[in-house]
């Protein structure tokens, strides 16, 4: 394969809702690095957040930043010490490069590494580009029967699978997921694959639930919005009571995939005593929780941050596990891809993801170069 690193067309965020398509320099290939010709990048909520606000919490975009971190592509060059992948291999890129030496990395919980450099998080550039240099231990070969589009969905699938692992979902469990975005839906698929007997999803948007009817869920609940002036917790309690009446029970596990305070509260209220309320969504930094309920009913509230070795005692990484679920047909991610854009139209892709209320689930950007 021939390649020209001078032609590194990249989608750089240069202001509020402003992408500039420009050639960016390609970092030098180190001995343990792989040069990937990125072919597919999915747009994620964090890309949209940076696009809209140019910041997430304390992370501010002060220099042009290439967005994108859900990617797959084809290897075009390898460093002198690379042994696990070869030129022409089709690969998925795990976007967070950790230090590999700290206590968290050594314990297998590398998602908690304080030195992680994550694609499209300032100052680290993302993968909405033609060429991306990445260490080989964060590159995973895709089997022949898995498309690059599916490969780009291994990232959010890993989030869903890790959340289900953290929740300790067991065969026969009743699992309730709040939020029918890509992360919520992939969490449902992972829960089904883990043997959940009933997977229930809830959202405020009818089109999202229409989609969920066709994907990995048994029951879809359309939530009412809070009444005018209704305090969050009043709403959460009222809505949870209605849901419990409707389902006839609480769930063994509730996974919040919205980050909304009302949903985090509901995650606790809707969990059976002794069950797990798992927080995947990222919302306001501080929120009010029904703590006495958590204490006296022993609800296990757990956070989820990205993914790691799935369970700290497992030696198997999240990416290979997610890829094997695709290969075995246990989880199908293809239906989530509702829209695609060529890389030259990255601005339009991000605007669509920002304003999309047209049934879009996962928007992917395709690079044909
Ligand atoms: P998304 O915005 O596409 O989906 C969120 C869904 O939640 C939407 O369908 C929305 O209608 C629904 N929702 C929002 N507020 C609600 C409410 N009050 N009641 C009911 N439904 C509500 O986002 P996504 O890409 O699916 O990601 C979901 C969440 O997970 C986001 O908060 C994202 O930041 C977070 N996330 C966390 C991690 C992690 O490592 N913890 C990784 C990826 C994404
Ligand atoms: Zn580390």
Model confidence pLDDT, tens digit, residues 193-214: 999 999 999 999 999 999 999 9
Contact (Cβ atoms closer than 8 angstroms) between residue 250 and residue 277:
no
Report which ligand 1 atom has the smallest distance to the Cα of 156: 43
Please answer whether residues 127 and 92 qualify as being in contact, where contact means their C-beta atoms are separated by less than 8 angstroms: no
Residues 237 and 193 in one domain: yes
The Å distance, Cα 274 to ligand 1 centre, comes to 25
Tokens encoding 352: 């669509």
162 three-state secondary structure: helix
In a domain, 1, yes or no: no
**How far is C-alpha 329 from the geometric centre of its chain's CA atoms?**
20
Q: Name which residue leads in pLDDT, 309 or 341.
A: 341
Question: Does residue 318 belong to any structural domain of this protein?
Answer: no
Q: What is the CATH number of the domain that holds 272?
A: 3.40.50.720
**31-45, 128-142, 304-318: which range is least confident on average?**
304-318
Residue with the two structure tokens 């919520």: 184
Select from 283, 303, 323 the last residue of a domain. Answer: 303
- How many angstroms separate the CA atoms of 263 and 279, rounded? 10
State in Å: Cα 123 to ligand 2 middle.
Answer: 18
Tokens 């769930």 correspond to 251
Residue in 153, 181, 354 to alter for ligand 1 test, most ligand atoms within 8 A of Cβ: 181
Lowest mean pLDDT among 2-16, 80-94, 134-148: 2-16
188 and 76, same structural domain?
A: no
In this structure, are 182 and 294 located in the same domain?
A: yes
Q: Given this model, what pLDDT does residue 5 score?
A: 74
Residues 231 and 112 in one domain: no
Domain final residue pick, 285, 303, 321 = 303
| Residues 90, 203 within the same domain | no
Q: Are residue 266 and residue 174 in the same domain, yes or no?
A: yes
Is 142 in the same domain as 18? Answer: yes
179, 243, 359: residue to mutate for ligand 1 pocket, most atoms within 8 A of CB: 179
Q: Is residue 4 part of a domain?
A: no
Please say if the pLDDT value at position 312 is more than 70. Answer: no
List the one residue out of 85, 163, 152, 74 whose CA is nearest residue 119.
Answer: 152
Q: Is residue 73 part of a domain?
A: yes
Cβ proximity of 328 and 178 under 8 Å: no
- Structure confidence at residue 1 (pLDDT): 57
Whose alpha carbon is nearest atom 5 of ligand 1?
181
Whether residues 147 and 83 share a domain: the answer is yes
Q: Rounded to whole angstroms, how far apart are CA atoms 210 and 134? A: 38
Q: How many domains, the chain?
A: 2
Judge whether 170 lies within some domain.
yes
Q: In terms of domains, do 255 and 346 share one? A: no
Neighbours of 188 (CB within 10 A): 28
Average pLDDT of the residues in 247-268: 98
21/343 Cα distance (integer angstroms): 9
Same structural domain, 358 and 254? no
160 in contact with ligand 1, CB cutoff 6 A:
no
- Give the pLDDT band of residue 311 (cuts 50, 70, 90): low
323 domain residue, yes or no:
no
| Best probe residue, ligand 1, of 56, 203, 220 (max atoms within 8 Å of C-beta) | 203
Which pLDDT belongs to residue 309? 80
- Mean pLDDT, the chain, integer: 95
Please identify, by atom number, the ligand 1 atom nearest to the C-alpha of residue 304.
41
d(CA 281, CA 258): 5
* Domain-located, residue 3: no
Same domain, 72 and 208: no
CATH number, residue 128:
3.90.180.10
Question: Quick check: CB of 360 below 6 Å from ligand 1?
Answer: no
Residue in 281, 179, 187, 288 with CA at minimum distance from that of residue 232: 288
State ipTM. Answer: 0.99
Q: Quick check: is 2 in a domain?
A: no
Nearest alpha-carbon partner for 274 in 292, 251, 297, 291: 297
Residue 158, ligand 1, Cβ within 6 A: no
Task: Indicate whether 108 and 176 sit together in one domain.
Answer: no
DSSP 258: S
287: domain range? 162-303
CB 324 within 8 A of CB 158: no
pLDDT tens for residues 331-348? 999 999 999 999 999 999
| Closest residue by CA, ligand 1 atom 23 | 181
């Amino acid at each position: 394969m021939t390649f020209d690193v001078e032609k590194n067309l990249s989608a750089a965020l240069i202001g509020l809702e402003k992408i500039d398509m420009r050639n960016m320099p390609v970092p030098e290939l180190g001995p343990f690095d792989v040069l990937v010709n990125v072919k597919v990048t999915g747009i994620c909520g964090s890309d949209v957040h940076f696009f809209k606000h140019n910041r997430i919490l304390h992370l501010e975009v002060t220099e042009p930043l290439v967005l994108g971190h859900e990617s797959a592509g084809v290897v075009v060059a390898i460093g002198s010490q690379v042994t696990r992948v070869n030129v022409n291999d089709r690969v998925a890129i795990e976007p967070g490069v950790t230090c590999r030496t700290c206590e968290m990395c050594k314990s297998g919980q590398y998602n908690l590494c304080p030195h992680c450099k994550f694609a499209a998080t300032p100052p680290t550039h993302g993968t909405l580009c033609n060429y991306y240099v990445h260490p080989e231990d964060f590159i995973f070969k895709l089997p022949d029967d898995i498309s690059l589009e599916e490969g780009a969905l291994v990232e959010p699938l890993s989030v869903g699978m890790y959340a289900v692992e953290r929740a300790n979902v067991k065969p026969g469990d009743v699992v309730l997921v709040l939020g029918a975005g890509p992360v919520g839906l992939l969490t449902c698929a992972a829960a089904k694959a883990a043997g959940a007997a009933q997977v229930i999803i809830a959202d405020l948007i009818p089109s999202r639930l229409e989609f969920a009817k066709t994907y990995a869920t048994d029951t879809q609940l359309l939530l009412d919005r809070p009444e005018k002036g209704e305090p969050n917790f009043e709403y959460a309690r009222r809505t949870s009571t209605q849901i419990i009446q409707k389902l006839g029970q609480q769930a063994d596990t509730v996974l919040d995939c919205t980050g909304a305070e009302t949903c985090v509260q509901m995650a606790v209220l809707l969990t059976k005593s002794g069950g797990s309320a798992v927080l995947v969504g990222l919302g306001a930094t501080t929120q009010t929780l029904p703590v006495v309920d958590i204490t006296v009913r022993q609800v296990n509230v757990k956070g989820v941050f990205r993914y790691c070795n799935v369970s700290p005692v497992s030696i198997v990484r999240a990416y290979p596990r997610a890829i094997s679920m695709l290969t075995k047909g246990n989880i199908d991610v293809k239906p989530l891809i509702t829209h695609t854009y060529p890389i030259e139209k990255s601005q339009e892709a991000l605007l669509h993801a920002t304003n999309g209320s047209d049934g879009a689930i996962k928007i992917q950007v395709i690079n044909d170069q």
